[in-house]
């Protein structure tokens, strides 16, 4: 249950959607090309102000913001993002040209300044001169929309710093708070290039992938929930307050797996791609919870030195080979190897989980150093957790282990 596996699930789900919805992207590309036909660079040089400003039908700004909204939205922010616009304000109902005082006081001179900024941006954008792009006088969102519209092969259709940082965080891409919008967008594009599935996507498709698979950052005042699949949402990890449970075991009364299934479970058709994605999401949340539990436990015991060494080995490139998810320690410095099992279901009187052959073998070998940490109601702010010291060494009266799948292989003739 590592980040690469989770990303792969997102990629698999979106790739199926992308292939089936090429007509959507063709429609968007046709709109973009129509805009370029209507507003080529040569026309912008002599474009009159009434064909530029928002507030005028079919103007440069109006089409860029509204007609091309699905190519990347810049709506919702003040019209001053265009440098100059035609309209009214809350305090002044009269429609007229309006602009920020930083550009000057004369309408025609301000418009010439903005138009020069657009032309300079298009030159810088074609050269991919990121320093010049950053220094350009236009607002960041407006710059981003223009660059993506004219040069979609170079620039992403996400223009907000907040959104860019949100997606970088989701993908586990490091960035610093002082990086500008252009640099943040390029980090996302560079990331796309290293994955075989994504590298041949257009930036339009890539932007659609980020939106569909990871949602959006929370709005001001909105309680944030990470929308990770169609049917599951997780509260922020800092709001999670787990409670420990210590149930007492009794002798097993065996029933066949078929008998334990309800009629509705037997008939239910499974969406395996979505189910795998859901399982990965819940599993990662379980690991996050256990990482916090282990570090807090060691810190309370005065072992900050050990807390700093707790490691989530499932995050490593070969994480599946370990047979456990987290390497932690006892307060005496002895190793603890913890396999995390997480479910959205509440604790019941006859719970069960699935282990891989690799987990079983490592659990048997590691003996008393091996633990299962079982997280119930993992998608809530009040999950329950149960530490079980190596269940694979329990007596047969306390634990039921049944094979559920088989590996089938063949030797073919040369």
- Phi/psi of residue 345, nearest 5 degrees: -80, 155
Tokens of 130: 């990121």
Owner of token pair 């980090």 = 187
51-78 average pLDDT score: 89
Q: Are 306 and 294 in contact (CB under 8 A)?
A: no
132-169 pLDDT, tens digit each: 999 999 999 999 999 999 999 999 999 999 999 999 98
pLDDT at 360: 86
Give the other-Cβ count within 10 Å of 155's Cβ: 25
Asked whether the predicted pLDDT for residue 414 surpasses 70, the reply is no
Nearest to 32 by CA among 78, 58, 70, 5: 70
The CA-based angle 18-22-24, given to 5 degrees, is 100
Q: How confident is the model at residue 397 (pLDDT cuts 50, 70, 90)?
A: low
Cα–Cα–Cα angle for 20, 158, 114, rounded to 5 degrees: 130
Q: What is the pLDDT of residues 359-382, one digit of tens each?
A: 888 888 999 999 999 999 988 889
User: Which of 286, 285, 292, 371 is closest to 324 using CA atoms?
Assistant: 371
How far apart CA 275 and CA 280 sit, in angstroms, is 9
Q: In this predicted structure, what is the pLDDT of residue 119?
A: 97
Q: Residue range 115-142: average pLDDT?
A: 96
Calculate ∠ Cα 44-46-52, nearest 5°: 55
Q: For residues 77 and 206, which has the higher predicted lDDT (pLDDT)?
A: 206
Domain residue extents for the chain: 3-214, 237-393
**87/225: higher pLDDT:** 87
How many of the other CB atoms lie within 10 Å of CB of 215? 16
Mean pLDDT within 385-405: 76
* Rounded distance between C-alpha atoms, residue 5 and residue 23, angstroms: 29
Decide if pLDDT at 49 tops 50.
yes
**Token code pair at residue 227:** 């929308």
Task: Check pLDDT > 80 for residue 222.
Answer: no
The DSSP result for 193-259, as a single string, is HTSTTTTTS-HHHHHHHHHHHH--PPPTTPPP-EEEETTEEE--GGG---EE--PPP-------HHH
Show Cβ contacts of residue 103 under 8 Å, excluding neighbours closer than 6 positions.
Answer: 83, 84, 110, 113, 114, 137
Mean pLDDT over 384-403 rounds to 79
SS3 for 85?
strand
Cα dist from 280 to 8, 115, 249, 285, whole Å: 10, 49, 29, 9
Residue that has been written with the tokens 């980040």 in this structure: 3
What CA–CA distance (Å, rounded) separates 301 from 296? 9
Question: Which residues are CB-neighbours of 347 under 8 A, at least 6 positions away?
Answer: 245, 247, 376, 377, 384, 386
Measure the CA angle with vertex 322, ends 380 and 356; round to 5°: 70
pLDDT band with cut points at 50, 70 and 90 for residue 258:
very low
Structure-block tokens of residue 380: 């809530």
What value does the mean pLDDT take over residues 58-76?
91
Among 379, 256, 366, CA closest to 313: 366
Whole-number pLDDT of residue 280? 74
Percent of the chain with pLDDT over 70: 82
Q: Is the pLDDT of residue 228 over 60?
A: no
pLDDT at residue 91, as a whole number: 87
**Residues with Cβ < 8 Å from 219, sequence gap 6 or more?**
none
> Does position 393 have pLDDT exceeding 90, yes or no?
no
pLDDT at 76 over 80: no
The residue among 82 and 411 whose pLDDT is bigger is 82
pLDDT at 398 over 70: no
pLDDT of residue 256: 46
Measured over the CA atoms of residue 57, residue 58, residue 60 and residue 63, the dihedral's sign is positive
């Amino acid at each position: 249950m590592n980040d690469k596996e989770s990303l792969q699930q997102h990629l698999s789900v979106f790739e199926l959607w992308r292939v089936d919805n090429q007509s959507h992207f063709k429609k968007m590309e046709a709109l973009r090309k129509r805009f370029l036909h209507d507003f080529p660079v040569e026309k912008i040089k002599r474009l009159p102000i009434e064909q530029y400003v928002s507030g005028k039908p079919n103007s440069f700004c109006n089409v860029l913001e509204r007609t091309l909204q699905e190519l990347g939205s810049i709506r919702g922010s003040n019209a001053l993002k265009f440098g100059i616009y035609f309209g009214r304000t809350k305090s002044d109902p009269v429609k007229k040209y309006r602009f920020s005082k930083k550009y000057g006081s004369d309408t025609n001179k301000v418009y010439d300044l903005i138009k020069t900024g657009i032309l300079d941006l298009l030159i810088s954008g074609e050269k991919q001169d990121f320093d010049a792009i950053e220094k350009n006088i236009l607002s960041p969102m407006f710059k981003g929309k223009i660059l993506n519209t004219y040069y979609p092969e170079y620039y992403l259709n996400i223009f907000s710093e907040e959104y860019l940082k949100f997606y970088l965080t989701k993908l586990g891409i490091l960035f610093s708070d002082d990086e500008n919008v252009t640099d943040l967008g390029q980090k996302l594009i560079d990331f796309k290039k290293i994955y075989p599935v994504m590298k041949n996507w257009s930036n339009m498709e890539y932007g659609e992938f980020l939106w569909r698979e990871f949602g959006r950052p929370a709005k001001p005042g909105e309680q944030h929930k990470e929308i990770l699949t169609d049917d599951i949402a997780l509260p922020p990890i800092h709001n999670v307050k787990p409670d420990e449970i210590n149930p007492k075991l009794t002798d097993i009364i065996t029933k066949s797996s078929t008998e334990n299934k309800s009629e509705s479970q037997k008939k239910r058709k499974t969406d395996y791609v979505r189910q795998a994605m859901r399982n990965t999401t819940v599993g990662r949340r379980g690991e996050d919870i256990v990482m916090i539990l282990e570090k807090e436990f060691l810190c309370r015991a005065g072992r900050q030195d050990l807390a700093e060494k707790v490691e989530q080995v499932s995050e490593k490139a070969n994480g599946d080979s370990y047979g456990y998810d987290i390497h932690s320690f006892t307060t005496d410095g002895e190793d603890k190897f913890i396999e995390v099992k997480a479910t959205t279901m509440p604790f019941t009187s006859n719970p069960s989980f699935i282990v891989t052959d690799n987990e079983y073998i490592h659990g048997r070998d590691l003996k008393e150093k091996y633990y299962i940490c079982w997280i119930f109601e993992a998608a809530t702010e009040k999950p329950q957790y149960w530490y079980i010291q190596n269940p694979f060494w329990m007596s047969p009266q306390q634990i039921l282990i049944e094979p559920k799948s088989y590996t089938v292989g063949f030797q073919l003739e040369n």
